[in-house]
Structure 1
Amino acid sequence: MQQVFVNEQPVDGKFNITGQDAHHLTKVVRLRPGERIRVSVADGTNYICEVSDYVDKDLVATIVEGVPSTELPNKIYLFQALPKGDRMETIIEKCVELGAYEIIPVEMKNCIVKLDDKKKKSKVERYQAIAKSAAEQSKRSIIPNIHSVMTFKEAFEYAKEFDVLLLPFESKNGMKDTYDCLSELKAGQSIGVFIGPEGGFAPNEIEMVEDSVKLISLGHRILRTDTAAICSLSMLMLKCEEF
């Protein structure tokens, strides 16, 4: 079943789907009257709808029934160090599927990739399009926001108000620290997760946050930055789905 996101509430039990979404559904997917789609509104409400009409280039969908939200009970913010190549695209795709609420690309000292302002803007636009596609594929109730690129200091300031901050690093008790952190999580808490670059966190970055974050372990093996992000989100999804 195709998924589409809209900003407007239904009128008289109907959605008027416009723009690229309407073009995709009518010209690419070739939906016909009577076929069903899933519609998610910006406030997180979801509906199964039936294609009922076409008006000019727009598609009209009539509500059949409401369906539950697919969102986690916790908002998870992924602070991801800029990786090389196209790994950020993979991270965004997979972590959106796993339930990330917002993804913040972060410039860290040991990042190999350095972006100028023009490239930052174009990258974020590309990343947001990937997030939309992943949200549609995984039947999310919202499209996670891809934040503009931040410095590590800016990211830490942004994260200070969150309920829980986690950072995979060298935790002294290994996986026990991870188990303890996960067991202490509660429904509704906002969770920030910091993932370092290929070169690892710089000492001054750890010093900046060590009094505010909980250091956790991802096991005895050294994971690539994209694997670390996916692993962290998988563990959090497993815990948060229990609530």
Structure 2
Amino acid sequence: MQQFFVTADQVQENQIYIEGTDVNHMKNVLRMRPGEKLGISDGNNHHYICQVEKYEDAQAVLTILEEESVDTELPSKIYLFQGLPKGDKMELIVQKAVELGVYKIVPVAMKRCVVRLDDKKAAKKVERWGEIARSAAKQSGRGIVPKVGGVLKYDEALMLSKELDVVMIPYELAEGMEQTKQIMQSVRPGQSVGIFIGPEGGFEKEEVEQAKEAGASEITLGKRILRTETAGLTALSILMYHLEK
């Protein structure tokens, strides 16, 4: 069954109104006709089974058949602070992080980032990453669409991380797998978690020290050096396995 996301104001009594590009996708790409069923999420863990009623005035009008609560979210909100990677790697990171249950992705400009985005380019990139997050949320049956925040400077990201309960920074020079396991296993349902991931060149030692001063725990993800597009997904996978009900 096809799934789409709407905002709460698009749900009115027993009907839902689809707008924007989703209408064209339903009508001309999927060729959905009146009477066909589809799933709708309001982004707040409410899911509706609907059928297409009609198309009118650039809208798709749906009738709600069933309403149910969705239980596909992790019991902890995980924030991925991702150092800006080269090329289109961020698109892969966003897609897979959403599938693994991330709550929010925060792109971060770090010292060893090769990519430098001005405000205009950053806004376009964030918009694109948001579309990928929405698509991945549809595909994976998420109850919410994880947000991709604007690009932050490193010190801004550290300030944001201070609001979280647990913050980790995987570092290639870190040692102590047992300590890492203890930190991972100490995360409890309901806690907010931040994971800092460096760009291709990794972290500067100074950045790691800054993170530790801000309350982050230095951890290791093993003896092998992981790519930036692998490290965050590895940490997310471990936390998902630990927290999943």
TM-score (norm 2): 0.93
Runs ≥4 residues deviating over 3 A: none
* Residue 43 (structure 2) pairs with residue 55 (structure 1): no
Matched residue, 1:84: 86
How far residue 113 of structure 1 moved from its aligned partner, in angstroms, is 1.3
Segments of structure 1 that go 5 or more residues without pairing to the other structure are none
AA aligned to 2:60 is L
Residues 10 and 17 in structure 2, CA contact (< 8 A), matched pair in contact too? no
Matched residue, 2:43: 42
Matched residue, 1:5: 5
User: 2 CA distance for matches of 1:6 and 1:110?
Assistant: 38
User: 2 CA distance for matches of 1:224 and 1:12?
Assistant: 48
Residues 16 and 60 in structure 1, CA contact (< 8 A), matched pair in contact too? yes
Using the TM superposition, name which of 41-50 and 16-25 deviates more. Answer: 41-50
The count of corresponding residues between Structure 1 and Structure 2 is 241
AA aligned to 1:94 is K
Matched residue, 1:230: 233
For residues 69-218 of structure 1, the aligned pairs below 5 Å read 69-169=71-171, 170-174=173-177, 176-211=178-213, 212-218=215-221
Q: State the Cα deviation string for residues 88-113 of structure 1 (Å, max 9, x = none).
A: 11100110111111101101001111
Residues 46 and 69 in structure 1, CA contact (< 8 A), matched pair in contact too? no
Residues 50 and 63 in structure 1, CA contact (< 8 A), matched pair in contact too? yes
User: 2 CA distance for matches of 1:9 and 1:126?
Assistant: 23
How far residue 10 of structure 1 moved from its aligned partner, in angstroms, is 2.6
User: 1 CA distance for matches of 2:67 and 2:218?
Assistant: 41
Using the TM superposition, name which of 13-22 and 146-155 deviates more. Answer: 13-22
User: 2 CA distance for matches of 1:26 and 1:165?
Assistant: 44
Calculate percent identity across the aligned residue pairs.
Answer: 48
How far residue 178 of structure 1 moved from its aligned partner, in angstroms, is 2.5
How far residue 52 of structure 1 moved from its aligned partner, in angstroms, is 2.4
- Give 3-state SS (helix, strand or coil) of 1:235's partner: helix
Q: State the Cα deviation string for residues 200-225 of structure 1 (Å, max 9, x = none).
A: 11111111111411222211111000
AA aligned to 2:22 is D
How far residue 182 of structure 1 moved from its aligned partner, in angstroms, is 2.1
